[in-house]
Structure 1
Amino acid sequence: MPLSVREQNKSTRYQHIVSAAERLFLDRGLDSVQMQDVANEAEVGIATVFRYFPKKDKLIVAVAIQNLERILPAFEEIAASPKTAYVRLEDVLNYLLEEDQNSPPGNSSKFREAFESYASFTKEPLPDIDDYIEIQKQISNSLNPIIEDGKTDGSIRTDLAIKETLITIINTFGTFVNNVVLKAPISFLEEDIDPHIQQRLLKDILLSYVRPV
């Protein structure tokens, strides 16, 4: 059933507030942003912000969910491709790499790393965190076609535990990409290797592990 005009306006306002909050969180960090800052950025009254998000943590999780939801369609499209399982695995890693390098400046992965660090230090479970976990499960399940084809199409080593190996590779690479993005503002020593070179090297190492000899 189509949404009523009132419901559409409510949904649009909700998304507008979430997007405004995401910009502020990325610019200033999760801890320093106040709800009044979000109201100012979204150009709405503070009462409107609190009507949708009674607590700041609820808004933070809403931003995290919206951020994570952007990945799902891309993973589903990659997984549905007729390419071999190996090439689709490479496409997933390339997507994570390009998301870092093409979003300004690695915003999506930067926020996810900051959010998960924030969530790990909270004393009580964050509101709506189950919804965030559900999106994570959907993303993981979207990879099932790659996993199943990897067992039979000959593009991945047959002596491996396919599911465990592919999920570990994707999680490891995603975590490393996010971590490098978060640490990018820190000054590196002159002899340190450029983070993007490290990312590409790790991708090649992980892919070489699953490639048949």
Structure 2
Amino acid sequence: MDLKEKRNNERMEQVERRKDEIISAALSLFVEKGIDSTSINDIAAKAEVGPATVYRHFENKPQIVIVAAIKFWQSEISSLMPRILPESSNTCKGIDKIRNILNSYVILYQEYPEFIRFLDEFDNYVVKEKIDAEALRIYEQNILDLRGILVKALQEGKQDGTIKQEVEEYIFYATVTHAVLSLSEKLVLRGNILKSDNEIEAIAQLNLIIEMAVKYIST
């Protein structure tokens, strides 16, 4: 490697490092203040750079929001992965792996309420700003990592006889994920509104959805 190439690599590393600092600063503010309440100037101040530097790396705020959301997903899923699929799960039946994966949503609700809150804000922001599907393509690829893990477990369950052959894998993933995350968002953001809401524990509701889902696919 010659001197010119070495300097170019160092410059690229510095650019990526600065970009990551901006993303981290933005994500911290989104979690603390909310996406709508955070401006480019806020992000620049948090990252200790000028607004022009932020715009040098990102075209606009929606782009920052999407990249920050990807970073948040990657961080939360990687922290959950040892509990979603522990080493001991290698010998588990498919249905047990499905239960482990679905239980990770309960862990998200219990231990990472800020992530649940962020997901709701992110969805609302995407709708409000009319961000198109193409701009969200990279984000979608990242969140579908969990879908791949669940689909693989479903296929293993069909092979080992613990899961019904007629189960539609992608329909099951989408339906159960939307049901559990929507309930989690309701519980985190709005809590108990009616008096009757206090009669049933939040975890019991989430566990019931998971139990119904597991029984639905189980042989």
TM-score (norm 2): 0.79
**1:163 Cα offset (Å):** 4.7
CA distance in 1, matches of 2:188, 2:75: 18
CA distance in 2, matches of 1:56, 1:102: 28
**CA separation of 1:107 and 1:148: change in aligned 2, threshold 3 A:** same
Query: Which amino acid in structure 1 is aligned with residue 110 of structure 2?
Result: Q
Query: Which amino acid in structure 2 is aligned with residue 9 of structure 1?
Result: Q
Q: Provide, for residues 164-209 of structure 1, a one-character-per-residue CA deviation record: whole Å limited to 9, x for no partner.
A: 334432343233323432334xx53343133333222222222232
More helix by share: 2
- Hey, what does 1:62 align to over in structure 2? 67
CA distance in 2, matches of 1:126, 1:166: 20
Spell out the pairing of 1:160-179 with structure 2 (5 A cutoff).
Answer: 160-179=167-186
CA distance in 2, matches of 1:58, 1:166: 27
Contact (CA 8 Å) 1:72, 1:142: kept in 2 or not? no
Does 2:159 correspond to 1:152?
yes
**1:16 Cα offset (Å):** 1.8
CA distance in 1, matches of 2:189, 2:13: 35
Contact (CA 8 Å) 2:25, 2:47: kept in 1 or not? yes
TM-score (norm 1): 0.81
Find 1:23's aligned residue among 19, 28, 32.
Answer: 28
Query: Which amino acid in structure 2 is aligned with residue 35 of structure 1?
Result: I
Give the gaps of 5 or more residues in structure 1: none
| 3-state SS of 1:164 partner | helix
Give the gaps of 5 or more residues in structure 2: 1-5
- Hey, what does 2:3 align to over in structure 1? none
Spell out the pairing of 1:83-94 with structure 2 (5 A cutoff).
Answer: 83-94=92-103
| 3-state SS of 1:149 partner | helix
Q: Provide, for residues 127-175 of structure 1, a one-character-per-residue CA deviation record: whole Å limited to 9, x for no partner.
A: 8322112223443233332121121212223453355334432343233
- Between the two proteins, the alignment pairs up a number of residues equal to 207
**1:68 Cα offset (Å):** 2.3
CA distance in 1, matches of 2:214, 2:144: 23
Identity among equivalent pairs (%): 24
Worse-matched range after superposition: 42-51 or 87-96:
42-51
CA distance in 2, matches of 1:91, 1:125: 33
Tell me which structure has the larger Cα radius of gyration. Answer: 2
